[in-house]
C-alpha cells in the first residue's frame, strides 16, 4: 500500500528527475572531451616548437630571450637575451693636470725675437765695463742680453743676467757659452751677437742689420782674421769687435760642438770657434753680406 502511494507521488515528477540527471551526465561528458582535446593540441604545438623542422629557423628559445621579429624576407631574426650589467662606480680621478702656458704669446705661437746679445766679461771688469755696456745695450735690446764670465763671483751687479762657467780658460769658456745658448735660447731668437765688454756697440744699427736678414740664412759675419800658421783654410771672426751668428748656423753646428771641444786645439777662443764652424759647418767668416731681394 505504501509502495503504491510512493509510486503515485513520484510518477508526475519522474520525467523531470530523469531529464535533470541526463543533462548533468551529458555536461560532464562534454567538459572532459574538450579538456582532453586542448591538452593534446598544446602538447603537440609545444613539441613542434621545441623540435622544429629541418632547415627551419623556428625552434626552441630561452624563456628570458626577446624575439626581434621578422625581416622583410619573412625570416625570423636572431633572439636577443637581456643581460644584467652591474653598476661599477667610476674610479676617482686625480687632480686635473696643470696646462703649461708660455709666458709670452709669441713663444706659444712660435714667433722668435730677432736678436740676442752675448757679452764676454771677467771677474775684474764685471763691476765696471760690464755695468757700462749693460746700461748702453739693455735699454735698446729690451732685456735680450746676457753676460758670460769665467769665474764665479758672489757679488753680481743688480739688473744683469750673468752666467758664470767657473773655468778661467778662454776656450772652455767659449764652448760653455755656445752650449748654453743652444740649450736655453736657440728656440727664441734668430740672430746671436757675441762681443767683448770693452767694445762699444751701436744697438740700433745692429738691430737694423738683422731686420734685413732672412731668419733661415746661415751666416758667420764679423772682422775676418787669418789663422795662426795658415794651416786652416778660411778665416775666423775676431771676438774683439764682435761677430754675428745665425740661428740656422748654430743649429747646424750643434751636433758637432762636443767633437770640436775634444779635437780642436787652440788657445784663442775666437780661433777655436772659427775652426769648428769651418770644419763642421763649411762656413768662413765674412765681413759683409749683400742682401738680395728675397732675403
Residue 289 has what pLDDT? 87
Q: How far is CA 139 from CA 135, 136, 145, 245, in A?
A: 7, 7, 10, 22
Contacts of 9 (CB under 8 A, 6+ apart): none
Alpha helices in the chain (DSSP H): 2-51, 105-108, 131-141, 170-184, 203-211, 247-253, 257-263, 269-281
Domains along the chain with CATH numbers: 107-281 (3.90.550.50)
Each of the 295 residues of the chain gets a pLDDT tens digit; together they read 666 776 676 677 777 777 777 777 777 776 655 555 555 555 555 455 544 554 454 555 555 555 555 555 556 556 667 777 776 766 666 676 665 554 544 445 567 899 999 999 998 899 999 999 999 898 898 889 999 998 777 678 888 999 998 888 999 999 999 999 999 999 999 999 999 999 999 999 999 999 999 989 999 999 999 988 766 789 999 999 999 999 999 999 999 999 999 998 889 999 999 999 999 999 999 999 877 655 5
Q: Are 217 and 283 in contact (CB under 8 A)?
A: no
Residue 25 has what pLDDT? 79
Kind plus residue range of the DSSP H or E element containing 193 = strand 189-196
Q: What is the longest distance spanned by two Cα atoms in the chain?
A: 174
Residue 98 has what pLDDT? 63
How far apart, in whole angstroms, are the C-alpha atoms of residue 254 and residue 181? 10
Amino acid at each position: 500500500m505504501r509502495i503504491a502511494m510512493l509510486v503515485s507521488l513520484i510518477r508526475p515528477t519522474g520525467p523531470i528527475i530523469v531529464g535533470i540527471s541526463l543533462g548533468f551526465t551529458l555536461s560532464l561528458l562534454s567538459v572532459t572531451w574538450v579538456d582532453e582535446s586542448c591538452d593534446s593540441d598544446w602538447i603537440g604545438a609545444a613539441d613542434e616548437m621545441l623540435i622544429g623542422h629541418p632547415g627551419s629557423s623556428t625552434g626552441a628559445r630561452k624563456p628570458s630571450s626577446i624575439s626581434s621579429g621578422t625581416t622583410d624576407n619573412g625570416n625570423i631574426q636572431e633572439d636577443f637575451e637581456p643581460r644584467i650589467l652591474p653598476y661599477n662606480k667610476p674610479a676617482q680621478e686625480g687632480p686635473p693636470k696643470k696646462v703649461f702656458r708660455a709666458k709670452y704669446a709669441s713663444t706659444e705661437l712660435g714667433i722668435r725675437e730677432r736678436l740676442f746679445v752675448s757679452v764676454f766679461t771677467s771677474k775684474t771688469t764685471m763691476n765696471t765695463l760690464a755695468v757700462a755696456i749693460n746700461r748702453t745695450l739693455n735699454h735698446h735690446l729690451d732685456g735680450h742680453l746676457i753676460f758670460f764670465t769665467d769665474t764665479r763671483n758672489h757679488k753680481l751687479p743688480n739688473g744683469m743676467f750673468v752666467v758664470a762657467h767657473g773655468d778661467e780658460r778662454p776656450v772652455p769658456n767659449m764652448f760653455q757659452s755656445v752650449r748654453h745658448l743652444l740649450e736655453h735660447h736657440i728656440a727664441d731668437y734668430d740672430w746671436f751677437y757675441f762681443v767683448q765688454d770693452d767694445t762699444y756697440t751701436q744697438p740700433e744699427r745692429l738691430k737694423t742689420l738683422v731686420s734685413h736678414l732672412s731668419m733661415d740664412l746661415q751666416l758667420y759675419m764679423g772682422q775676418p782674421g787669418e789663422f795662426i800658421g795658415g794651416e786652416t783654410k778660411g778665416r775666423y771672426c775676431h771676438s774683439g769687435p764682435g761677430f754675428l751668428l745665425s740661428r740656422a748656423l748654430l743649429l747646424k753646428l750643434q751636433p758637432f760642438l762636443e767633437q770640436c771641444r775634444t779635437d780642436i786645439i787652440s788657445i784663442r777662443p775666437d780661433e777655436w770657434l772659427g775652426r769648428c764652424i769651418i770644419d763642421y759647418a763649411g762656413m768662413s767668416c765674412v765681413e759683409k753680406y749683400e742682401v738680395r731681394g728675397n732675403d
